[in-house]
Amino acid sequence: MALGAALAERARAGDTLLLHGGYGAGKTCLARGFIRRWLGDEDASLHVASPSYLIDNTYPDEEGGALQPGGRVTVHHMDLWRLPEGKVGQLVDLPAVFRDCVSLVEWPERLSPTEAQLMAAPLEVHLRLDEEAAARMADPEGAAAALEDGEDLPRWARLVARGEAWQERLSAIKLESDFAE
């Protein structure tokens, strides 16, 4: 969640974060940290659930207190796992969302090439569980225990900036944090 919060500090309207990783890799956990920080939820009381069945959970900044100057920027948290490639554009106004909002997209490979072209220079976030944590998740009993406190599982993240703006922001995050290379 700390990485998600750090990314929220630097995000702007029109940004898209593409969240890659297998089941349990931490995509929703990262989104939870991002959304809570974006909306100023300091006591972590905001319920941020996986959008697996709803496809697109929205978090409007109704009070104008978001990190974005001027406020009132909605975050869209999408999970495209259950959709065939290219279907999300029939359910969500992607041109408006990718232009005016902040988008966190789980399973972005389900976007069609046409849908993917609507994004301006996304940030790709590749997540995976640490090997020991992955072994716990492979065991049914270990998985149940790990899912109860899944936010504490060690993970690896690789961030790929698709544009200069995110490259500069990632450099700032690296300087201001204790995240490893």
pLDDT digits (tens, 9 = 90+) for 141-159: 655 555 555 456 778 899 9
| Across 35-49, 109-123, 131-145, 149-163, least confident range | 131-145
Q: What is the dihedral of CA 157, 72, 80, 118, to 10 degrees?
A: -90
% residues pLDDT > 90 (the chain): 52
Which pLDDT score is estimated for 145? 57
Q: Domain extents for the chain? A: 2-176
CATH of 2-176, picked from 3.40.50.300, 3.30.1330.10, 3.40.190.10, 3.60.15.10, is 3.40.50.300
pTM: 0.83
Burial class of residue 40 (count of CB atoms within 10 Å of its CB; 0-12, 13-18, 19+): middle
Per-residue model confidence (pLDDT) at position 154? 78
pLDDT band at 139; cut points 50, 70, 90: low
How would residue 63 be classed by pLDDT, with cut points 50, 70 and 90?
A: confident
Q: Rounded distance, CA 144 to CA 35, Å?
A: 25
Paired with 124 in beta bridges are 18, 160
pLDDT at 91 over 70: yes
pLDDT of residue 87: 86
Task: Label residue 93 by pLDDT band (50, 70, 90).
Answer: very high
Mean pLDDT of the chain: 85
Beta bridge partners of 79: 106
